[in-house]
Structure 1
Amino acid sequence: MRVPLSWLAEYVELVPGTTPEEVHAALVEVGLEEEDVHTFEVQGAIVVGEVLEFVEEPQSNGKTIRWCQVRVAPEGETAADGGDAVHGIVCGARNFFPGDKVVVTLPGAVLPGPFPIAARKTYGHVSDGMIASARELGLGDDHEGILRLATLGIDAPVGTDAIKLLGLDDAAVEINVTPDRGYAFSIRGVAREYAHATGARFRDPVEQMSPAEVSGDAFPVEIRDEAPIRGRVGSTVYATRIVRDVDPKQPTPPWMVARLKLAGIRSISVLVDITNYVMLELGQPIHGYDLDRLRGGIVVRRATPGETMTTLDGKVRTLHPEDLLITDDRGPIGLAGVMGGADTEMSDATTNVLIEAANFDPVSIARTARRHKLPSEASKRYERGVDPQIAAAAATRVAQLMVDLAGGTADMGGSLIHEAPVREAIELPTGYVSGLIGVEYTDDEVHDALAEIGGTITVTDTGFEVVPPSWRPDLTGRADLAEEVARIAGYHRIPSVLPVAPPGRGLTRSQRVRRRVADTLAAAGATEVLSFPFATEAENGRYGSVDGEPVASVRLANALDASTALMRRSLLPGLIGAAQRNRSRGLNDLSLFEVGIVFLPEPGRTYGTPGLPIGDAKPSDDELAELQAGIPPQPRHVGVLLVGDVLTKQPGQAAVPAGIVDALDAVRQIGLATGAEFEFAQGSHRALHPGRTAELRVEGRTVGYAGELLPALAEEADLPRVVAVVELDLDAVIELTDPALEARAIGTYPAATQDLSLVVDRAVPAAAVAAVVRDGAGALLEDLHLVDDYRGQGVPEGSKSLTFALRFRAADRTLTAAEASEAKLAGAAVAAERYGARIRE
C-alpha cells in the first residue's frame, strides 16, 4: 500500500516537516513493514508559462517544429532560473495555441529519469528550457502533446511554482500489508495506525461523511445466494446511489491525479478516478455502472454452469458455479468484487451513474480471483476483509465527489441492504494477556489498548468482554486481543529471554539417524538438494510404481501449476530435474541426494481432516489420532543420483563414469550411517535398466532400489545414457535396524585369508551364493566379498565362476590354516547343497 503524505495528513496530525522515513519508523512500531518511498523525482525551476507566439518551421527530416516565445515570469521580473522573463523554446508538439498556459521546465530543472534540463542548441535555435507533457512530469502516460493547464481547469499566474500547483511536491510511503491486516489497504487504516504509534489525533473520514437518506426500494437490488460457500452468504451489505447529469469529460483535478499516481494507480477519467480515490481513501472498493445501460434491477447470485460474461479487459470468461455475480435482466454484468463487465462500464458517453459499494465474502472473492487469474485492487481488499459498516458512507462520498468534480446531481435514488452479522464478544480473563505475552500489564493498560483500536469493552467479574471493531475481521480470539495489547503498548516492553531447554529432550533417534545419513552422503562428495514435492501423473506412475500398475496419488485442490497437481510418490523426478538444470548450466559431473517425504495414499481410500472444535485447549489423544488418520502415509525417503564422471580424467588416469557400482556404494554409505545390513538382489523396476537394477532389502524386507535409469528416460531428460540412481525408504530402514547396534570389537589376533572359487549356474545370483557360504562358514568368518565373476574358457556353458575373498579370525587365539580351510569348505558344502555349486580347480 502506497500512502501519499498529504493525504495521510488529512486524517491524522502530521507535524510539519515530517519525512517519509519518520512515518515509516512510526508505522514499523505498530507492525507495518516498510517497503519504499515514492516521489515524482522532479526538482528545480518548473513554472507556469504562457505561450506568447510561435513560428512553425518545417525541417529537412519531414518534421515541423515550433519556435516558441514563452513568458515564464511576470513582465519586468526575473525568471526562476535567473534569466529573462521571456524564453525561446523549441517544441515538437502541435496541440497548443498562443495564450495557452503550460508547464515550463527551465534550465537547471530535473525531470523523472533523471532527465536534466539545460539550454541547448537544436534545429538552429538555442532552446532555453522545455514545455513539458504529462508523461515527462510523471503525472501519466499521455505523451501525445504538451500539458495545457486549461484542460485541468487551472488558470494560475505566470511564474507560479508548477511543482506545488500540480501536487508534484508530495511523497508516498509504501508499506507491506500482511493478509490479516486488510484495513491497512486504505488511508483511513494507515492513519489510524499512525495515531496508535505516535499518539497523534486521528480523524475518521467515515465519521465526517453522513450517509444520505435514500429510499430503500428506489433502485431494486436483490441478494439471491442459493449456494453459499461454507455456509457464508456471498454478500451481506449492498449500497447504491445514483448521480445524474455528470460530465465524464471533465478533467480530473491535478491533486487527485498526483495522489493516485503516488498510490500506484494511473488516472483514467474523472468518474473512474473518483471510484479509485474513495477505494484508496476508505478501503471500500467501489464500482460505477452506466445507469442508462442497465436493464432492470440488480441481482447478486451465483453463476450457472456454462454461463459466460465479458469482463472490462475484453475477455470472454466461462464462469464457475461458485463465482458470485452481479446481474441485471440481461445476465451477468460483473464478477462480484473482482472486475466489472464491459456492457455497463462508465465511458465518455456516460451521463447517469449507479454507484455500488458492497461487502462480499472473502473466501468467495479469493477463489474467483484465483480461478480466473484476475487479481485486482478490489479483490485484494475483499479477500482480506472489508469493513461492512462503511458501504453507505463510501457511496455517499463517491456521489459527492461526482457532484463536485463532474457537475452531477445526486438524487434520492438508491438502496441499502445491510444484513452483516453482529460480532460476538470475546472473553478476556484478567491476567491472560500478561501470562501469554510475558509482560505485566495492568487492567487499565489492557482496557485502554483495546479501546484505542476501536473495541467495545464491557468489564465483568472475571475480566473483560470485548467486541472487536468492524474493520478488524482478524480479531477472532483472546490471543488476537493479547497481540493487540502488546502491539499498542509497545513491542519494546517484551523482554528478549532465551528459553531454557527442558531436560530429557532433544533429537529423536529417527532425527539423529536422518542427519547422520545426510552428513555421510555429503562427506562422500554428494550435494544435498531440495526439490518441490509436486509431480505429474506420468512421473508418479513411472517412478512411484515398481511394476507399472496404476497408483493412487494425492491431488492438490488448488495447485500452483496444473501440470504438477499431484504430490510426489518418488524423489527421483526432483533429482532428475535438478541434474537437468545443472547440466544445462555446464555442470556435467554431478552427485546429488535428497532426504524428503513422499506421499503414498492407499488406493480407494478417502482422506481428510475432521472438523474438530477450535479452542484454547490442547487436542485430546483421540482427536490427534483422528487427525493423523486423515493424513495419507508420508514416509521419508532418501534418493541419490550420479551422472557424469566419478573420477575425472587425469594424466595416467582415464575417466571413470558413474554407474550401478557407484549407486551400490552410495547404499553402503547409507548402511554405515544407519547401521543397516543391506542385502542386494537382482531386481526389477519399470524406470530402471533391466539387468542393472538391485533390489535393496533389510531383514528380508524390500526397502528400495538402486540401478541405472532406462536410457530412454535419461535421453528424455537430456541426460547421458548412464544415470545411476538410488531410492530407499529411510523410515523403514531405521525401523528395521537395531537401535542398540554397537560397533564390533577390533580383533587383536592375526587373520587367515583364503579364496574360494565356485562354479554355479549363471541364473544363480552371486549374492545368494555369498549368503549361504557366509552361513556355512560359521562364526570364524569375519569378512566375505566377491572379487571375480568369470564366464569363459574352462567354465561349462551356462555356468559362471564366482571367486570370493574370505577373512577368518578368532577372538581368543591365532587360527591355523587347517581351521580356516575347514570353515571355508563348510561354506562351500552348503553352497553345493543349496545351488549345486562345485569348487573350481
Structure 2
Amino acid sequence: MPRVPLTWLADHVDVPAGLTAEQLAADLVRVGLEEEAVHPAAVSGPLVVGEVVERTPEPQKNGKTINWCRVDVGPEHNEPGGAPRGIVCGAHNFEVGDRVVVALPGAVLPGPFAIASRKTYGHVSDGMICSARELGLGDDHDGIIVLSTLGIDVPVGTDARALLGLGDEVLEINVTPDRGYCFSMRGVAREYALSTGARFTDHALPTPEQEAPATGGVEVEIDDAAPIYGVPGADRFVAQVVRGVRAQDPSPQWMQRRLTQAGMRPIGLAVDVTNYVMLDLGQPTHAYDLAKVTAPVVVRRARAGERLVTLDGVDRVLDPEDLLITDSPDGARAARVLGLAGVMGGGDSEVGESTTDLLIEAAHFDPVTIARAARRHRLSSEAAKRFERGVDPRLPRVAVAKVVELLVEHGGGVVDAVLTDVDRTTAPPTLVLPLDLPGRLVGVPYTADEVRETLDAIGCEVGDERDGTVEVRVPSWRPDLVVPVDLVEEVARLRGYDAIPSTLPVAPAGRGLTHGQRTRRSVARSLAEAGFVEVLSYPFVATEQLDALGLPADDERRRTVRLVNPLTESHASLRTNLLVTLLDTARRNVSRGQSDLAVFEIGLVTRPAADAPAAPRLPGGVRPSDADLAALDAAVPAQPRRVAGVLAGAVEAAGWWGPGRRADHTDALAAARRVADVVGVDLVVTADAEHLPWHPGRCARLTLSDGTLVGHAGELHPNVVATLGLPARAAAFELDLDVLLAAASGEPLQALPVSAFPVAKEDVALVVPSQVPAADVLDAVRVGAAAGPAGDVVEDVRLFDVYVGDQIPAGTTSLAFSLRLRAADRTLTAQETAGVREAVVAEAQRRFGATLRA
C-alpha cells in the first residue's frame, strides 16, 4: 500500500498549515482512497539543535575513549541557571563549536528508544547527541550528525524534528486496482486537490522538447511482432546515458528520509534516485551499468531455455510469455538477458562499486504482460505493482529527465547530448458521453455543467455539446477510463457518494430456489440434525495427501488438474474426491484434541478425462470466437458435486446412562442412506472387495437400481487411519450428489393412505453362510414377503439381531428380521401372516440355502 508523507505531498499540492494524517485521510476517503494506517512521527519529544561548548576526552579501562561534553541547547532547554547540559558521547567526528542534534530526556527515538538522564562512565548524561542511524535517517553510524557539514546553520534550541523532517506523519492508503496513478505522490496530490479544491501543480507534464522525437542515443529495438495478449508487450522505451557519476555515493539526507518514510531502504545514489522518481511521479525507471551493456538493447519475449539471475539472487527459468530487456542479439556474443521487463533487473548489469557510467531506462509496458510475469515468478516488485495497474505513457521522458537531473546534481557526471525514445504509443481514447447518462444511471439530477466541470477537473478534454452528447478525450494517466460508464463513475465519485439517495430497489418476482438447490440444503440440514458438523476446505491437494489414502499408482483419482499459479507449490492440484480434503480436516481436529467428531462437506471435485483436449490459449482484449469458446468448454474437466462425511471416536458418549458407543461402518452407511432418503432415491447396497481408502471387508458399494455407481461407505483402511493419526475404526462415506439428483424424479412426494386396520408382526431368524451380506438377505426377505399369499402387505422390514455362536453351525450367521404387516382393506388372519413367513423362508432358502433357526 502506498505511504504518503505529508511534507512530500506538499511538493505537488498546497496543503494547509498543521494538516494531520487523520485530516488527510478524511479528505482522501471522500474521493475513494481509504485509510490503511497512520504512521506517527519517527521521533517524539524534545529534539533540538545544540552547540558543543566543551569536549573532554576520557580514556576508559576497556580501551575505549569517551567524550564528556557540555552542550548549549538554548535558554529554554539548558540546565537551571543557563548552564549547558552535560552529555556523554562516544563519537569523535566533532569539535567544540559544532552544531549537533541533541535528544533531551523525554524524547523517543526509532526503536522505540526512550531518552532519559542516566549515570554512565562516572557522569550523569543528560541527553544524547544523535547519529543519522539513531534518528532513522540512514545507516550511517560512524559518527554523530554535524549540521554544518549538511549546510545547515540555525540557532541553538531550534526544533530539530521540523528541521530534519522527523516530525512528519505518514498516511498509508488503500488503492483499488483500477487507480494505479495513485501509487505516486503526483496521483495522490491530484486526488487531494479534487477533494479539497487545493491548488495542484503537475510536475510531470512533458515539455514540447520532451514530446519531440529523439534518436541518436543507445540503439534500442522493440521486437514483439506477435503479441501474446493482443497488444504489444512494450510500446515505448526511453534510454539516456549519464557518464562519470558517483553512482554508489549515499543519496542526500532528504531523499533517504523520504524513501524511508515511504517504506523503502536507501541503498546508494543511483538506486535511490530511480526509486525516488518512481514514488514521486509513478514511472518506474532502471539504472544499468553502461559498461556491462552492449548495444543494441532489445525488448523481446523469452526464448526456450533462457534463464535470468535477478537482483534478488534467484536463478529463474524464463517463460515464452515473459517480456525481457536484452542486449547483443546479433551473435557478436551470446545474447544476454538484462532484466525481466517491468518486474526486476538482472544481476549481470547491476550498478556496482566501480560503476561510473549509467544507462537510464524508462518504458511503457503492457499491464497484462507484466502482471502475469510477476505472478508467474512470484515477484511483486514496486515497479510491477505500478506497471500492472497502468502507467502514464507520456511519463518516460519526464521521468528520465528527472532521474538525470538528480544524478548530476548529487553525483556529478555529464549527460549525453542525445537520447533514444522509441515511441509507438497511441493517443488516449475519445469517448462519446450523453450528458444525461450520469443522472440516469446514478439517480442524481446532475446538470450538464456539473458533468463537464467534473470531467475537466480529472484532466479530460471535453468537446462541444452536440445533440446532448460530448466527446471526451481521457487523460493519459487514466487507462481505467475506457467506456462511458467509467466517466459516470467519476462524476458520482467526485460529486459525492453521499449525494446519492438511498432508494430500496423493488425486488422482481422470482421462482425461488431450484429443486437441486432445495435438495442440497435439505441434505446439509439432515446431516446436521444427525449430529454432523459441516466444514469447508480448500480444494487444493498435495501428492502426499493422495499417498496417505493409499491410492494405487494407476487409480484414476490420481489424475489431477494442476494449477499454473497455485497458492502454495506443495498444494498445486485440484482434488478429485472429497475425502482427501475432508480427512485432512478431520486429522487437524484430532491433532488438536477433538478426537470424537462427525464432519461432512458438500463441494465440487475435478475429474479430468484421460483423453481431454488441451485448453486453447486465447489473446486478450478481443472477444473469443464461438469456436474458441466451444474449445474452452470442451477442455473444462467434469466437476461433479459430492457429499462426504467422516466419523471418528465415540458417536454416543459414555456416562451414567450407559457405556456409550464408538462410531463404526454402520454409522457411515446409515448417513449415506439418510442422504439418499432426503433426495428421494433408493440405494442398492453391495459389498466392495477393495476400494481404498476403505477397509476391504467393511466397505459398501452404493449404486442405483440400474447399477450406476453413487459412492461408497464403510470403515476406513487401518493403514489410512494410522497414517492420518485418526482414532481406530474411523468410518467415512462419499456420494455423488449430482447422480442422486439426476435419479430423483423431482416431483413432490405423494402421501400414502394410512390403513385403519391393525398391524401384524412376524419375526423370522434365518441361518445363512457367513459370507452372505446381510443386505442381500434383507432384499430376499422383502421380495419373499411381498410374494406371499396375502399380497404386498409388507409395511416395514428391519434387521434387529445378528448372532454367531455355538447354537448354530460353524461358518454360519443367524440374521433375525422383524416384519410389520398390514393390509389396506382387512385385518390379516393368522394363516395369512404364517404364509408370509413361509414365503420369506422359501425365498431365502432358494437364494442362499438359508434355514429357519429353531
Shared topology, TM-score over 0.5?
yes
Alignment match of 1:404 (pick from 409, 416, 420): 409
Q: What CA distance in whole angstroms lies between the structure 1 residues aligned with 2:670 and 2:807?
A: 31
Q: Superposed, which structure 2 residues align to 1:461-540 within 5 Å?
A: 461=467, 463-537=469-543, 539=545
Note if 1:678 corresponds to 2:679. Answer: no
Q: What CA distance in whole angstroms lies between the structure 1 residues aligned with 2:643 and 2:551?
A: 16
Matched with 2:123 is 125
Matched with 2:797 is 784
Matched with 2:47 is 46
Which stretch shifts more, 372-381 or 38-47? 38-47
Note if 1:217 corresponds to 2:216. Answer: yes
> Match for 1:737: what amino acid?
A
Q: Retained in 2: the 8 A contact 1:217–1:414?
A: yes
Cα deviation digits, residues 286-307 of structure 1 (max 9, x gap): 1112334433342222333333
Cα deviation digits, residues 310-365 of structure 1 (max 9, x gap): 33233443433333222233622222222223333334543332221111222222
Where 2:171 maps in the other structure, the secondary structure is strand
Q: Retained in 1: the 8 A contact 2:310–2:344?
A: yes
Q: TM-score, length-normalised on structure 2?
A: 0.90
Identity %, equivalent residues: 50
Matched with 1:147 is 145
Q: What CA distance in whole angstroms lies between the structure 2 residues aligned with 1:623 and 1:804?
A: 61
Which runs of 5 or more structure 2 residues have no equivalent in the other structure? 787-791
Note if 1:689 corresponds to 2:695. Answer: yes
Q: Superposed, which structure 2 residues align to 1:411-430 within 5 Å?
A: 411-429=416-434
> Match for 1:503: what amino acid?
A
Matched with 2:789 is none
The alpha carbon displacement at 1:371 in A equals 3.0
> Match for 2:527: what amino acid?
L
Q: What CA distance in whole angstroms lies between the structure 1 residues aligned with 2:617 and 2:248?
A: 57
The alpha carbon displacement at 1:422 in A equals 3.2
**Residue 743 and residue 465 in structure 1: after superposition, are their counterparts in 2 closer, same or farther (change >3 A)?**
farther
> Match for 1:801: what amino acid?
S
Q: Retained in 2: the 8 A contact 1:45–1:80?
A: no
Which stretch shifts more, 271-280 or 211-220? 211-220
Matched with 2:176 is 178
The alpha carbon displacement at 1:804 in A equals 0.9
> Match for 1:253: what amino acid?
P
Instruction: Work out the number of aligned pairs and report it.
Output: 836
Note if 1:361 corresponds to 2:366. Answer: yes
Where 1:334 maps in the other structure, the secondary structure is strand
Q: Retained in 2: the 8 A contact 1:599–1:634?
A: yes
The alpha carbon displacement at 1:225 in A equals 2.8
> Match for 1:392: what amino acid?
R
The alpha carbon displacement at 1:272 in A equals 2.1
Q: Retained in 2: the 8 A contact 1:24–1:173?
A: yes
Cα deviation digits, residues 449-492 of structure 1 (max 9, x gap): 33332233444547344333222222233332332222122212
**Residue 614 and residue 210 in structure 1: after superposition, are their counterparts in 2 closer, same or farther (change >3 A)?**
closer
Q: What CA distance in whole angstroms lies between the structure 1 residues aligned with 2:436 and 2:549?
A: 56
> Match for 1:256: what amino acid?
M
Q: Retained in 2: the 8 A contact 1:211–1:393?
A: no
Q: Superposed, which structure 2 residues align to 1:538-577 within 5 Å?
A: 539=545, 549-551=555-557, 552-577=559-584
Alignment match of 2:835 (pick from 809, 816, 822): 822
Q: Retained in 1: the 8 A contact 2:229–2:369?
A: no
The alpha carbon displacement at 1:203 in A equals 1.6
Q: Retained in 1: the 8 A contact 2:217–2:239?
A: no
Q: Retained in 2: the 8 A contact 1:153–1:253?
A: no
Q: Retained in 2: the 8 A contact 1:541–1:548?
A: no
Matched with 2:278 is 279
Q: What CA distance in whole angstroms lies between the structure 2 residues aligned with 1:43 and 1:564?
A: 47
**Residue 500 and residue 456 in structure 1: after superposition, are their counterparts in 2 closer, same or farther (change >3 A)?**
same
Matched with 2:645 is 640
Q: Retained in 2: the 8 A contact 1:152–1:252?
A: no
Q: Retained in 1: the 8 A contact 2:215–2:421?
A: yes
> Match for 2:363: what amino acid?
A
> Match for 2:851: what amino acid?
R
Matched with 1:795 is 808
Q: Superposed, which structure 2 residues align to 1:27-66 within 5 Å?
A: 27-60=28-61, 63-66=64-67
Q: What CA distance in whole angstroms lies between the structure 2 residues aligned with 1:110 and 1:46?
A: 9
The alpha carbon displacement at 1:410 in A equals 3.1
Note if 1:343 corresponds to 2:342. Answer: no
Note if 1:606 corresponds to 2:613. Answer: yes
Which stretch shifts more, 628-637 or 376-385? 628-637
Q: Superposed, which structure 2 residues align to 1:161-310 within 5 Å?
A: 161-207=159-205, 215-225=214-224, 228-248=227-247, 251-310=250-309
Q: CA RMSD in A?
A: 3.1
The alpha carbon displacement at 1:595 in A equals 0.8
Q: Retained in 2: the 8 A contact 1:287–1:357?
A: yes
Which stretch shifts more, 213-222 or 118-127? 213-222
Where 1:412 maps in the other structure, the secondary structure is coil
Which stretch shifts more, 580-589 or 417-426? 417-426
The alpha carbon displacement at 1:113 in A equals 4.1
**Residue 421 and residue 620 in structure 1: after superposition, are their counterparts in 2 closer, same or farther (change >3 A)?**
closer
Which stretch shifts more, 290-299 or 409-418? 290-299
Note if 1:771 corresponds to 2:779. Answer: yes
Cα deviation digits, residues 571-593 of structure 1 (max 9, x gap): 11111111122222222111111
The alpha carbon displacement at 1:499 in A equals 2.9
Q: Retained in 2: the 8 A contact 1:597–1:635?
A: yes
Q: Retained in 2: the 8 A contact 1:214–1:412?
A: no
Q: TM-score, length-normalised on structure 1?
A: 0.92
Which stretch shifts more, 675-684 or 457-466? 457-466
The alpha carbon displacement at 1:609 in A equals 7.9
**Residue 732 and residue 215 in structure 1: after superposition, are their counterparts in 2 closer, same or farther (change >3 A)?**
closer
**Residue 829 and residue 500 in structure 1: after superposition, are their counterparts in 2 closer, same or farther (change >3 A)?**
farther
Q: Retained in 1: the 8 A contact 2:799–2:816?
A: yes
Q: What CA distance in whole angstroms lies between the structure 2 residues aligned with 1:571 and 1:438?
A: 47
Cα deviation digits, residues 175-205 of structure 1 (max 9, x gap): 1122222111011111112222223232211
**Residue 536 and residue 435 in structure 1: after superposition, are their counterparts in 2 closer, same or farther (change >3 A)?**
farther
Alignment match of 1:750 (pick from 755, 758, 763): 758
Cα deviation digits, residues 260-308 of structure 1 (max 9, x gap): 2211112222332221111011100011123344333422223333333
Note if 1:590 corresponds to 2:597. Answer: yes
Where 1:195 maps in the other structure, the secondary structure is helix
**Residue 274 and residue 46 in structure 1: after superposition, are their counterparts in 2 closer, same or farther (change >3 A)?**
same
Q: What CA distance in whole angstroms lies between the structure 1 residues aligned with 2:625 and 2:222?
A: 42
**Residue 96 and residue 647 in structure 1: after superposition, are their counterparts in 2 closer, same or farther (change >3 A)?**
farther
Which stretch shifts more, 545-554 or 227-236? 545-554
Matched with 1:805 is 818
Q: What CA distance in whole angstroms lies between the structure 2 residues aligned with 1:234 and 1:124?
A: 68
> Match for 1:305: what amino acid?
A
Q: What CA distance in whole angstroms lies between the structure 2 residues aligned with 1:738 and 1:479?
A: 46
The alpha carbon displacement at 1:666 in A equals 1.7
Cα deviation digits, residues 398-417 of structure 1 (max 9, x gap): 11222333334434232111
Q: What CA distance in whole angstroms lies between the structure 2 residues aligned with 1:771 and 1:272?
A: 81
Alignment match of 1:103 (pick from 93, 101, 104): 101
Q: What CA distance in whole angstroms lies between the structure 2 residues aligned with 1:685 and 1:439?
A: 65
**Residue 311 and residue 94 in structure 1: after superposition, are their counterparts in 2 closer, same or farther (change >3 A)?**
farther
The alpha carbon displacement at 1:542 in A equals 8.1
**Residue 247 and residue 564 in structure 1: after superposition, are their counterparts in 2 closer, same or farther (change >3 A)?**
closer
Q: Retained in 1: the 8 A contact 2:376–2:565?
A: no
Cα deviation digits, residues 629-675 of structure 1 (max 9, x gap): 55332221111011122223324633522221221232233244333
**Residue 545 and residue 714 in structure 1: after superposition, are their counterparts in 2 closer, same or farther (change >3 A)?**
closer
